[in-house]
């Protein structure tokens, strides 16, 4: 038998380190080549590292939340044959036997866990080992609340669920018990990256916001017509592809809004390409996949590429290239609606557009009350480099295109 030492590989895109966000194997586990070993969070994406060999896990290095440099041994295996390292080399580095993604108070008052708040179509987050155990024990993961990072279900969560019994059955019997104890959830992985980026954006950028209502009645008629006559295999159109194409024209007229601001050099960098980031909520948190060179696409290509990159982000398959390089960002609140928001700019960009849902509203036209389909837009701008007039003008230009959709394609 030999020892195989596996070092954190070069993930590419200039990545020099990664944060451990989940382990998929335990000490002593028997694994096969290509089995998932651990999840590592880089600046942009979470990458699942596969097992390089068949063997038995001997050591692991790195707790959840710990940063590992590329090239550092992260796991060792006992394998058939000679392996690739000596036991002396393998034992010269610190060994982490257990990771501790969360700490729970040890209060033993048994109360049923709160039912999961995930939507009915959301896939529960859990490691393959947890999923296998749940299947073997007949446990429905959709009913279990996860206490791990990003709501990941742990073995301890399964234990708590079994000890407390079904909360649905328990809810109808006897008086409710007062709850005690706390749960500490470390800010790690994507949640840490989001926190760092939001703090950087809000601390460095002097935000100002601007709101507007847009009459999209004509746009809705065009959207429905195009969907009913769309080519075979073409994606169904939402409002976003139209907004993206309208932004191409609006940003071309107001190039100061399609820019980055380099804080350290105090330089404004205007971009010729229009690369639109699409803020996308996933089970793991918020990602911003990027549709590159929208100015070179037609409406159908825009819709198809937007669907591709956002689906890749939701499934966890998006590459670093697909998650970087945006020059302007759109955040859509979709069916949640709302009357307004103050979106935080995606640093180092200088503007962001918030899109709310469209709904029928009573409005006055030529002295008469009529029903029109109204969409609310929210925007935020970096007031250090974008004057109030410039940001407002961009939104007004966009409004004009959306209210007269034929002009988007002229």
Same domain, 211 and 280: yes
Q: What percent of the chain has pLDDT over 70?
A: 84
Q: How far is CA 104 from CA 108, 111, 128, 161, in A?
A: 11, 14, 23, 14
Same domain, 309 and 382: yes
pLDDT tens for 159-211 read 877 777 644 334 444 467 788 888 888 777 777 888 888 888 989 999 999 99
Domain of 396? 190-409
Q: Once rounded to an integer, what is the mean pLDDT over residues 262-287?
A: 93
Structural domain count, the chain: 3
CB 364 within 8 A of CB 315: no
Same domain, 159 and 245: no
| Residues in contact with 222: Cβ distance below 8 Å, sequence separation at least 6, in sequence order | 242, 405, 406
Indicate the pairing of strand 328-332 with strand 276-282: parallel
Q: Is the pLDDT of residue 14 over 80?
A: no
Q: What is the pLDDT of residue 129?
A: 66
CA angle 223, 227, 229 (to 5 degrees): 120
Q: What is the pLDDT of residue 166?
A: 47
Please indicate, yes or no, if residue 112 is contained in any of the structural domains.
Answer: yes
CB 18 within 8 A of CB 1: no
Q: How far is CA 71 from CA 9, 13, 15, 76, 98, in A?
A: 6, 15, 11, 13, 21
Q: Which residue has the higher pLDDT, 313 or 100?
A: 313
Q: Is the pLDDT of residue 20 over 80?
A: yes
Q: Which residue has the higher pLDDT, 316 or 76?
A: 76
Please indicate, yes or no, if residue 98 is contained in any of the structural domains.
Answer: no
Cα–Cα distance measured from residue 101 to residue 187, given in angstroms and rounded to the nearest whole number:
9
Same domain, 241 and 381: yes
Q: Which residue has the higher pLDDT, 123 or 374?
A: 374
DSSP state of 85: B
Q: Which residue has the higher pLDDT, 267 or 107?
A: 267
Which among 117, 151, 185 is the end of a domain? 185
Which among 185, 206, 239 is the end of a domain? 185
pLDDT tens for 132-168 read 788 778 888 888 888 765 577 887 788 877 777 644 3
Which among 45, 63, 91 is the end of a domain? 91
CB 356 within 8 A of CB 375: yes
Same domain, 194 and 217: yes
pLDDT tens for 216-242 read 999 999 999 999 999 898 999 999 999
Looking at every residue in the chain, the average pLDDT score rounds to 84
Please indicate, yes or no, if residue 38 is contained in any of the structural domains.
Answer: yes
Cα–Cα distance measured from residue 244 to residue 247, given in angstroms and rounded to the nearest whole number:
5
Please indicate, yes or no, if residue 356 is contained in any of the structural domains.
Answer: yes
For the beta carbon of residue 394, count every other beta carbon within 10 angstroms. Answer: 25
- 363 burial type by CB count under 10 A (0-12 exposed, 13-18 middle, 19+ buried): middle
Q: What is the pLDDT of residue 124?
A: 75
Q: Does residue 218 come out as left (phi exceeding 0), alpha (psi in the -120 to 50 range) or beta? A: alpha
CATH number, domain with residue 78: 2.40.50.100
Q: Once rounded to an integer, what is the mean pLDDT over residues 376-401?
A: 97
| Residues in contact with 400: Cβ distance below 8 Å, sequence separation at least 6, in sequence order | 407
Please indicate, yes or no, whether the overall pTM of this predicted structure exceeds 0.75.
no
pLDDT band with cut points at 50, 70 and 90 for residue 348: very high
Please indicate, yes or no, if residue 108 is contained in any of the structural domains.
Answer: yes
Same domain, 58 and 28: yes
Q: Which of 7-11, 46-50, 112-116, 362-366 shows the lowest per-residue confidence on average (mean pLDDT)?
A: 112-116
CATH number, domain with residue 151: 4.10.320.10
Question: Whose structure tokens read 């916001």?
Answer: 209
Same domain, 330 and 246: yes
Q: What is the pLDDT of residue 175?
A: 61
Same domain, 284 and 376: yes
Q: What is the pLDDT of residue 214?
A: 98
The H or E element spanning position 332 is: strand 328-332
271 is catalytic: no
Longest CA span, the chain: 88
Q: What is the pLDDT of residue 190?
A: 76
Cα–Cα distance measured from residue 78 to residue 4, given in angstroms and rounded to the nearest whole number:
6
Q: Once rounded to an integer, what is the mean pLDDT over residues 302-330?
A: 94
CATH number, domain with residue 324: 3.30.559.10
Please indicate, yes or no, if residue 64 is contained in any of the structural domains.
Answer: yes
Please indicate, yes or no, if residue 97 is contained in any of the structural domains.
Answer: no
CB 150 within 8 A of CB 189: yes
Q: Is the pLDDT of residue 113 over 80?
A: no
Cα–Cα distance measured from residue 334 to residue 317, given in angstroms and rounded to the nearest whole number:
23
207 is catalytic: no
Sign of CA dihedral 263, 266, 271, 274: positive
Same domain, 338 and 359: yes
Same domain, 359 and 254: yes
Out of 155, 207, 271, 383, the active site residue is 383
Q: Once rounded to an integer, what is the mean pLDDT over residues 275-285?
A: 91
Q: Is the pLDDT of residue 89 over 50?
A: no
Q: What is the pLDDT of residue 65?
A: 80
Tokens of 113: 């866990």
Q: What is the pLDDT of residue 111?
A: 44
Q: What percent of the chain has pLDDT over 90?
A: 52
Q: Is the pLDDT of residue 350 over 90?
A: yes
Q: How far is CA 87 from CA 73, 82, 84, 361, 373, in A?
A: 13, 11, 10, 73, 70
pLDDT tens for 64-81 read 888 888 889 999 999 988
Indicate the pairing of strand 73-79 with strand 2-7: antiparallel
- 94 burial type by CB count under 10 A (0-12 exposed, 13-18 middle, 19+ buried): exposed
Same domain, 6 and 74: yes
Q: How far is residue 69 CA from its own chain's centroid?
A: 23
Q: What is the pLDDT of residue 92?
A: 42
Q: What is the pLDDT of residue 138?
A: 81
Please indicate, yes or no, if residue 210 is contained in any of the structural domains.
Answer: yes
Give strand ranges (E) for 44-201.
Answer: 46-50, 55-60, 67-69, 73-79, 103-104, 183-184
Same domain, 230 and 352: yes
Question: Whose structure tokens read 């710990």?
Answer: 66
Start-to-end C-alpha separation, the chain: 71
């Amino acid at each position: 038998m030999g020892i195989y030492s596996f070092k954190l590989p070069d993930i590419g895109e200039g990545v020099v380190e990664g944060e451990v966000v989940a382990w998929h194997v335990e000490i002593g586990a028997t694994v096969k080549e290509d089995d998932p070993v651990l999840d590592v969070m880089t600046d942009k994406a979470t990458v699942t590292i596969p097992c390089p060999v068949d063997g038995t896990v001997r050591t692991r290095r790195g707790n959840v939340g710990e940063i590992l440099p590329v090239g550092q041994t992260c796991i060792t295996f006992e394998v058939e044959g000679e392996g690739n390292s000596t036991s002396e080399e393998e034992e010269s580095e610190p060994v982490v036997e257990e990771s501790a993604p969360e700490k729970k108070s040890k209060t033993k008052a048994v109360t049923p866990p709160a039912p999961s708040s995930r939507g009915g179509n959301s896939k529960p987050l859990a490691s393959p080992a947890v999923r296998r155990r749940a299947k073997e024990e007949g446990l429905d993961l959709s009913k279990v609340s996860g206490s791990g990072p990003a709501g990941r279900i742990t073995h301890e969560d399964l234990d708590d669920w079994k000890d407390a019994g079904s909360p649905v059955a328990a809810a109808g019997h006897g008086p409710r018990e007062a709850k005690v104890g706390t749960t500490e959830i470390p800010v790690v992985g994507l949640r840490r990256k989001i926190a760092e980026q939001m703090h950087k954006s809000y601390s460095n950028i002097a935000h100002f916001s601007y709101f507007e209502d847009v009459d999209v009645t004509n746009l809705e008629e065009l959207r429905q017509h195009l969907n009913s006559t769309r080519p075979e295999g073409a994606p169904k159109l939402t409002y976003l592809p139209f907004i993206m194409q309208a932004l191409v024209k609006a940003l071309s007229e107001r190039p100061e809004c399609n820019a980055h601001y380099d804080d350290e050099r105090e330089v404004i960098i205007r971009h010729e390409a229009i690369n639109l980031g699409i803020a996308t909520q996933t089970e793991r948190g918020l990602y911003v996949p990027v549709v590159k060179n929208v100015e070179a696409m037609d409406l159908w290509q825009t819709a198809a590429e937007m669907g591709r990159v956002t689906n890749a982000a939701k499934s966890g398959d998006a590459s670093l290239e697909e998650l970087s390089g945006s020059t302007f960002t759109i955040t859509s609140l979709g069916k949640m609606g709302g009357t307004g928001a103050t979106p935080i700019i995606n640093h180092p960009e200088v503007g962001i557009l918030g899109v709310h849902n469209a709904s029928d509203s009573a409005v006055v036209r030529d002295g008469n009350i009529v029903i029109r389909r109204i969409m609310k837009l929210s925007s935020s701008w970096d007031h250090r480099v974008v004057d109030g007039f410039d940001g407002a003008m961009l939104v007004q230009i966009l409004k004009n295109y959306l209210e007269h959709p034929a002009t988007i394609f002229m």
